Chain A
Amino acid sequence: MSQAEPKVFVVDDDPSVLRSLGRMFEVEGYAVECFVHPRRMLALPPWTGPGCVVMDLRMPELNGLELQEALRRAGWAQPIIFISGHGDVPTAVRAMKAGAVDFLPKPVTNEELLAAVERALERDREARDARRERERLQALFSTLSPREWQVCRLMARGLLDKQIAAELGTAAQTVGLQRRRVLEKLETQSAVELARLLERLEALS
């Protein structure tokens, strides 16, 4: 299964609605996977590739919000689009807070649904990019020793070697050596660049 091709997961307890949605996405060229029962979906290992989930909010046994929660716990990260028969505002708010991208009243036109799916996939893409960058940065920073971490943080605040040495209670020469190692490990040229990188990591984490 190619990780690059986005996939749409559809969950609806109504077989005919499920079939119509699945077929529509297929016709539109998406890879689709349909579930008439939420439990089936949860039985699978979480999908790690790009994609989104379209589900009915009202389902017997396990409703949309409960499924959303269960998927999160199981490690599904894809954005969720809820389709609901009636505009239940409190439910919609809860769904959105829990990370749903859209909340569409039924019946929904294909355009609306496709637009929502595109938005979801875009967001998924962004999220995946961000995740990837964070992972890269985390990998980069994880090479630093604890002392180098201390030096790195102080460098990012714009302190000179002497100042850092005073702060850490070591010699300025030692700090100079550690500064070079940090810049080297983080593949950066200057303290300014390092500060930006650190800021980025903190924003992503």
Chain B
Amino acid sequence: MFWLWLLALLAMRAEATEREKRVLVFVPEYATVPAIADFTRGVRRTLMTESPGPVTVHVEYLGMAWFGGGEYERALSDFYRVKYREQQPDALVVYEDATPLLLQIQRELWPRVPMLAIVADDFQVEAFPQGPYLRGNWADFAITESVRAALRLLPDTRHVALVLGSSPREKIARALVTQEVRRGAPDRVFIDLAGLTLEELRRRVRTLPPDTVVMMVGFMQDATGRSLISYDVMRMLHADGAPPIFSVHKTMLGSGIVGGVLADYPLLGQKTARRVLRLLQGEPASSLPTGSMEANVLAFDARELERWHIPASRLPPEAEVHFHEPGLWERYRWQVSALLGAGLLKVGLIAVLLLERSRRKRAQRLNLAVLDSLPGSVAILDRHGSVLRANPARDGGPGEGAPERLPTSGDSYLESLREAARTGPPEVAHAVALLEAVLAERLREGLVEFRGHSPGTWLELRVRHLELPEGGAVASLVDVTSRKRAEQEARQARDERAHLERVAAVGELGVSLAHELNQPLAAILTNAQTAQRLLSGSSINAPLLREVLQDIVADDLRASAVIRHLRMLLKKDEAGHARHDFNALVRDVIRLVGNDALLRGADLIPDLCEGALPILGNGVQLQQVVLNLTVNALDAVGPSPSGARRVWVRTQRHGDRVELVVEDTGEGMTDEVLARLGEPFFTTKREGMGMGLSISRSLLEAHHGRLHAERRAGGGSLFHCTLPLQLD
């Protein structure tokens, strides 16, 4: 990679003296927008006058304020390809909102042509893949500096008031702006006029103490939601007789503000051009300075300075003072008036357009701020899976296990994910499939969890379709290891509890289970000794001996079946889910409890439906539910008179669900018991732990099942649970 770049660089150097240099400037709007016009003029004029060799400047007005969409952007890309086929550019400049599109076009058409991007904020720059062919800079507003300038001019100021509107963007920016104002005036009383209604604002401004300066940052919407233009608001405040107002927009100058550190677009153009000159001389983009373009100027309105009795001596030497021609006014009153009128009109128009622009810029800035604030790694992708924007890397984002580095603009997210799928855990393939499906618009939204590269880590990829005509998607990758771990721990805890409860339940069956096991053992012993006895005789009764041995085998099998069932219930199972016949599971439980029922003098009546009931789940846990409900029912009929102790265990198929009903003829539940049923540790039994039903319920829930209890018509209770049927 490095040597390729070096070769390209050498080739460029060799050509340097031979031909005219071409610079392409891409701006988001048309030249009718004064700021755009000022900026491009600044670039062109500086290049023309300061370039050592011949240079042409082409400006491409993208019209992005009015036109857009993927098709338009692709057409532009094709158009530039054709247009500049014979005239390869030597340097590219891109301004503000045109940047994302140009990052793409540069990658496609001019991957080796250095590009300088000027964006509104530093955080936008951070998302760039800065390198030998790309340098990002920003041109920002100097709120703190403007406040400091105001205080220098009006040192007796004791209050600083911030005017800021209530539009969503202003609301989000409020904390930051407040902080910047306060930083400029740490020892003055801060008056917060942000977030008021227009009427409140005007009233508050009228009653501000005389030793106040107002920092007018913007007022796009008042607290009632009314849309406004900051420029109009500022004029109202000025007309209301507000204290001195300062701002950060040079376009405001001449319409009521005293001045401040103001954004200066021709200057920005000039500074941009000087960096482009360095690129033309063969410097890699990476050697250009980073950071702010510092295109703000200290500028003031002479009339306002005079109005507030600010002596010229307080102005710093670098300050520009405009509208300072009182003599002219006296002498050429009408001409000046007309000129001024036209000038004011022009300034007004510029201001309106700039405000419109700044409104959009704010929107974008706020969107980006939201993007940046998101946890994990968030990327906006085009429909080919390439990154249009991504939030910067942060701590707490996907750590190890994520694709080796975070995506930046221009990378193919889809490709790096595919790469990760080739080398990484198998589930990453699901993530690839998801992204592909969303990009192909087969799916609107989806979520895939997959294991990270380092053991034990889990990532979650959420992909959502972008509701734009050109398609695309938002992909967010979050480290969910801790959530996963918590889930796992919760599951383990539940299984642990379930196991304890199972052991307890089996313990309650203990005596009858011992009997159940003892019976075949007793029979085996008797039979074995009988066989010995038969063999010790003089003549052997072979048929009888065979019968005895057959019985031994049968009893042995019977004993081992009991042990197997017991072990199944008692073991801490980590077997997980498998296919089972629910009827078979229930049958096993009935066999286990059958003897217990007999001893309690209760009739346990199985009523299982015909055929198999295929379900997917943990067999032991489901048997535990059946066991629990059945033993509960047997307990419930205990106090009933002998002959009236009946428990039915029924299964049936109900649509796409399996239904289990355990019915008893016991006393039934009171309202209170019915209401509190399933609460952990709630029990009506003297020796119960009170965990049975709550565990049964949570085990069922883990199987997408449900459990509810009701009173049985004719006395007793009815427990009813359902599970999804698993068909092929």
B contacts with A: majority SS: helix
Which residues does chain B contribute within 8 Å of A111, judged by CB atoms?
529
Residue B441 at the chain A interface, CB threshold 8 Å: no
The answer to whether A14 and B530 touch across the interface, beta carbons within 8 angstroms, is no
Q: How far is the CB of A131 from chain B (nearest CB, A)?
A: 32
Q: How far is the CB of B561 from chain A (nearest CB, A)?
A: 13
The answer to whether A16 and B555 touch across the interface, beta carbons within 8 angstroms, is yes
Residue B601 at the chain A interface, CB threshold 8 Å: yes
* A-binding segment of B385-393, B518-526, B613-621: B518-526
**Chain A proximity mask over B505-522: 1 for CB below 8 Å, otherwise 0:** 000000100110011111
Which residues does chain B contribute within 8 Å of A24, judged by CB atoms?
526-527, 529-530, 533
Chain A's closest residue to B558 (CB) is: A16
The answer to whether A20 and B523 touch across the interface, beta carbons within 8 angstroms, is yes
For chain A, residues 9 to 38, give those with C-beta under 8 angstroms from any C-beta of chain B.
Answer: 14, 16-17, 19-21, 23-24, 27-28
Q: How far is the CB of A82 from chain B (nearest CB, A)?
A: 13
The answer to whether A60 and B548 touch across the interface, beta carbons within 8 angstroms, is no
Please report the C-alpha to C-alpha distance between residue A16 and residue B519 in the assembled complex, in whole angstroms: 8
Partner of B523 from the list A14, A27, A60, A110 (CB cut-off 8 Å) is: A14
Residue A107 at the chain B interface, CB threshold 8 Å: yes
**Chain B proximity mask over A94-137: 1 for CB below 8 Å, otherwise 0:** 00000000000011111101000000000000000000000000
Q: How many A residues face the partner with a CB closer than 8 A?
A: 23
The answer to whether A106 and B522 touch across the interface, beta carbons within 8 angstroms, is yes
Which residues does chain A contribute within 8 Å of B547, judged by CB atoms?
23
**Chain B proximity mask over A76-90: 1 for CB below 8 Å, otherwise 0:** 000000010110000
Which residues does chain A contribute within 8 Å of B598, judged by CB atoms?
60
Partner of A107 from the list B511, B518, B554 (CB cut-off 8 Å) is: B518
Which residues does chain B contribute within 8 Å of A21, judged by CB atoms?
526
The answer to whether B544 and A23 touch across the interface, beta carbons within 8 angstroms, is yes
The answer to whether A60 and B601 touch across the interface, beta carbons within 8 angstroms, is yes
The answer to whether A109 and B551 touch across the interface, beta carbons within 8 angstroms, is no
Residue B534 at the chain A interface, CB threshold 8 Å: yes
Residue A5 at the chain B interface, CB threshold 8 Å: no
Which residues does chain A contribute within 8 Å of B521, judged by CB atoms?
106-107
Q: How far is the CB of B547 from chain A (nearest CB, A)?
A: 8
For chain B, residues 522 to 560, give those with C-beta under 8 angstroms from any C-beta of chain A.
Answer: 522-527, 529-530, 533-534, 544, 547-548, 551, 554-555, 558
Please report the C-alpha to C-alpha distance between residue A61 and residue B551 in the assembled complex, in whole angstroms: 26
Interface size class of B (residues with CB under 8 A): 20 to 34
For chain B, residues 579 to 604, give those with C-beta under 8 angstroms from any C-beta of chain A.
Answer: 598-599, 601
Please report the C-alpha to C-alpha distance between residue A39 and residue B558 in the assembled complex, in whole angstroms: 26
Given contacts A85-B518, A106-B518, A110-B526, contact A16 B551 (CB under 8 A): yes
Q: How far is the CB of B366 from chain A (nearest CB, A)?
A: 78
Please report the C-alpha to C-alpha distance between residue A200 and residue B548 in the assembled complex, in whole angstroms: 50
The answer to whether A108 and B523 touch across the interface, beta carbons within 8 angstroms, is no
The answer to whether A110 and B533 touch across the interface, beta carbons within 8 angstroms, is yes
Which residues does chain A contribute within 8 Å of B515, judged by CB atoms?
58, 85-86
Quick one: which of B526, B527, B598 has the most chain A CB within 10 A? Answer: B526
Please report the C-alpha to C-alpha distance between residue A23 and residue B531 in the assembled complex, in whole angstroms: 10
Please report the C-alpha to C-alpha distance between residue A183 and residue B518 in the assembled complex, in whole angstroms: 62
Q: How far is the CB of A23 from chain B (nearest CB, A)?
A: 6
Partner of A17 from the list B511, B523, B533 (CB cut-off 8 Å) is: B523
Chain A's closest residue to B526 (CB) is: A20
Please report the C-alpha to C-alpha distance between residue A182 and residue B544 in the assembled complex, in whole angstroms: 61
The answer to whether B599 and A28 touch across the interface, beta carbons within 8 angstroms, is no
11 chain-A/chain-B pairs, Cβ below 8 angstroms: A14-B519, A20-B524, A20-B551, A23-B544, A23-B548, A24-B527, A27-B534, A85-B514, A85-B522, A108-B522, A109-B529
Given A23-B548, A60-B601, A106-B522; 9 other pairs, CB 8 A cutoff: A14-B523, A16-B523, A16-B558, A17-B522, A20-B524, A60-B599, A108-B526, A109-B529, A110-B530
Identify the A interface with B (CB < 8 A).
14, 16-17, 19-21, 23-24, 27-28, 58, 60-61, 83, 85-86, 106-111, 113
